[in-house]
Amino acid sequence: MSADDKTQANAMWGGRFQSGPDAIMQAINASISFDRRLYKQDIAGSRAHAAMLAAQGILTHSDAEAIREGLLTVLSEIEAGDFLFRAEQEDIHMAVESRLTEIVGEPGKRLHTARSRNDQVAVDFRLWVREQCDAAVEGITAMMRAFLAQAEAGADWVMPGFTHLQTAQPVTWGHHMMAYVEMLARDRSRFTDARARMNECPLGAAALAGTSFPIDRQMTAEALGFDRPTANSLDSVADRDFALEFLSAAGICAMHLSRFAEELVIWSSAQFRFVQLSDRWTTGSSIMPQKKNPDAAELLRAKLGRILGAAVALFTVMKGLPLTYSKDMQEDKEQVFDAADTLMLGLAAMTGMVSDMKAQVENLRTAAASGFSTATDLADWLVRELGLPFREAHHVTGTLVAMAETKGCDLTDLTLDEMRSVHGGIHNSMNEGVFQVLGVDNSVMSRQSYGGTSPDQVRSQIARWKALLG
């Protein structure tokens, strides 16, 4: 080995090493460039650990006090931007500990008693993901409120409901908005459930087998706001389910956002004109002066890919890993960080867009009445009035639709005589009934079944959700 190659061995673990790592090894190995985001959690974990060690008589109280003070100094240095993060310190755990030791000396070297970076990173990352679950719940709740406000404003505005993006039946704007409230509520509960499941503290599992020191894991778990300590030390350091659950919940939530984003792109187009997006969430074109592009919606539609990509990446990292910790697992953080950032940005942007969007009520109504949207109402009416089996009523109505299509008119423009030519049972006294049934307002009002689109049903769902959200 030449003298140049003999870079310094790592001060934390380099006892058995003759030389330091290759520069490229350092680049692969170091996580400090991204896991520095865990500094707060790392310091909180260390504080809890040191206090417990002192309470158990493993550290002296004066050492623990020096560590506590020193960690507070490190925290304020990092927050003030005065902290020098160096790649040779590998990760946030070593960076904090080595700075602590620079500040307080000997006691700093005692902090790592009865723990390992394996349980340390597990606890730091859990704390971080737990916080993100809370942020997601908050962001989703805000979006639910935005959809609720839209629903309340337009509980009885009529719009076309689609299947296959073909006009299906008239629905109410409020009903459509409330569909998203339901989706978001499930998203919220996924984050709440995941949080409850992850709220166990791995600190004290040490490297993998637990420790010979008489630690009190209940105490550290409590200090860090966990419900209890994890029950198996191997699982504690090998588990990343909490991150996978977060990514899965985030992926489903982002999928919902991307569906509404797509609706906004369609609805704001000149062909639909169902909504107007505000200037705050759109951009212009540098060449076409008339353009108002729904960029935020388009970006949200796309950003789902990043979150799903992160989930796939972490599943791929974890699959097939033997117990317990493997360095592969260091690849967990960037994925989760990026997914969380993307989700939070998406939630905030979508909430803004939903709050600002203006439904074009007349256009919605006109569109609702076109495309033979009340054909099902006519079939239902034939069942009720003539006692036809639904299949037959469906066929009669289909024939009437074809007739109207050939004539280039709506169902309401057909005369009673024309209708009678398709089914002899239709007679003059039914005149009023049939045309009433073909109107979009009656159509939506008639759908009173629980969870249906009638304004009454929608209003009662709005009331239920408002009470639940408080």
Q: Which residues are catalytic?
A: 164, 285
Task: Give phi and psi for 31, each to the nearest 5.
Answer: -115, 0
**Minimum CB separation from ligand ARG for residue 95, in Å?**
10
Check residue 10 and report its DSSP letter: P
Q: Which stretch binds ligand ARG (CB under 6 A): 113-121, 247-255, 280-288, 442-450?
A: 113-121
Specify the residue, 172 or 330, whose C-beta has the smaller distance to ligand ARG.
330
Q: Looking at beta carbons only, is 131 or 334 nearer to ligand ARG? A: 334
Q: Least CB distance from residue 41 to ligand ARG, whole Å? A: 12
CB-wise, 34 or 213, nearer to ligand ARG?
A: 34
The one among 49, 112, 117, 301 contacting ligand ARG by CB under 6 A:
117
- Which one of 59, 100, 121, 178 is in contact with ligand ARG (CB under 6 A)? 121
- Between 91 and 245, name the residue whose CB sits nearer to ligand ARG: 91
Contact predicate 146/355, CB 8 Å: yes
The distance of closest approach from Cβ of residue 191 to ligand ARG in the complex, given in angstroms and rounded to an integer, is: 23
Two tokens, residue 94: 């070593």
- Residue 430 DSSP class: G
Q: Provide the minimum distance between the beta carbon of 335 and ligand ARG in the complex, in angstroms, as a whole number.
A: 12
Q: How far is the CB of 55 from ligand ARG (least distance, A)?
A: 26
Residue found by looking up tokens 């005149």 in the block: 431
> For residues 33 and 460, which CB has a smaller minimum distance to ligand ARG in the complex?
33
- The answer to whether 122 and 202 have CB atoms below 8 angstroms apart is yes
Footprint of ligand ARG on residues 298-327 (CB under 6 A)? Answer: 325, 327
Q: Which of residues 12-31 bind ligand ARG (CB under 6 A)?
A: 31
Q: Which of 98, 101, 118, 376 binds ligand ARG (CB under 6 A)?
A: 118
User: Two tokens at 241?
Assistant: 């389910």
**Nearest-approach distance from CB 330 to ligand ARG, in angstroms:** 4
Distance CA 299, CA 254 (A): 12
Angle at CA of residue 169, ends 421 and 388, nearest 5°: 40
Binding range to ligand ARG, per CB under 6 A, among 106-114, 116-124, 259-267, 368-376:
116-124
Q: What single DSSP character describes residue 166?
A: E
Find the shortest distance in angstroms from Cβ 314 to ligand ARG: 13
Of 66 and 247, nearer to ligand ARG (C-beta) is: 247
Going by their DSSP bridges, the two strands 228-229 and 200-201 should be labelled as parallel
Among 44, 63, 89, 91, binds ligand ARG (CB under 6 A): 91
Rounded Cα distance between 421 and 198, Å, is: 67
136 binds ligand ARG (CB under 6 A): no
Which residue do the tokens 């925290």 mark? 75
Asked if 233 is part of the footprint of ligand ARG (rule: CB under 6 A), the reply reads no
Q: Does 35 bind ligand ARG (CB under 6 A)?
A: yes
339 within 8 A of 313, measured Cβ to Cβ:
no
Residues in binding contact with ligand ARG, number by CB under 6 A? 10
Q: Pairing relation of β-strands 158-163 and 166-172?
A: antiparallel
Question: CA 65, CA 93: separation in Å to the nearest integer?
Answer: 19
Per CB under 6 A, the list member of 54, 133, 329, 359 interacting with ligand ARG is 329
Q: Could you give the angle at the alpha carbon of 405 between the alpha carbons of 369 and 413, nearest 5°? A: 55
The reply on whether position 63 binds ligand ARG by CB under 6 A is no
- Within 239-331, where are the H helices? 241-267, 295-318
Task: Tell me how far apart the alpha carbons of residues 218 and 210 are, in angstroms, rounded to a whole number.
Answer: 14
If binding is defined by CB under 6 A, does position 175 make contact with ligand ARG?
Answer: no
With CB under 6 A as the contact rule, the residue among 169, 220, 258, 330 that binds ligand ARG is: 330
Tokens at 398, concatenated = 């289909």
End-to-end CA distance of the chain: 70
Is residue 270 within 8 Å of 294, Cβ to Cβ? Answer: no
- CB atoms closer than 10 angstroms to residue 182: 15
Which one, 117 or 217, has the nearer CB to ligand ARG?
117
The least CB distance from residue 92 to ligand ARG, in Å, is: 8
SS3 248: helix
> In the complex, which residues of this chain contact ligand ARG (CB under 6 A)?
31, 35, 91, 117-118, 121, 325, 327, 329-330
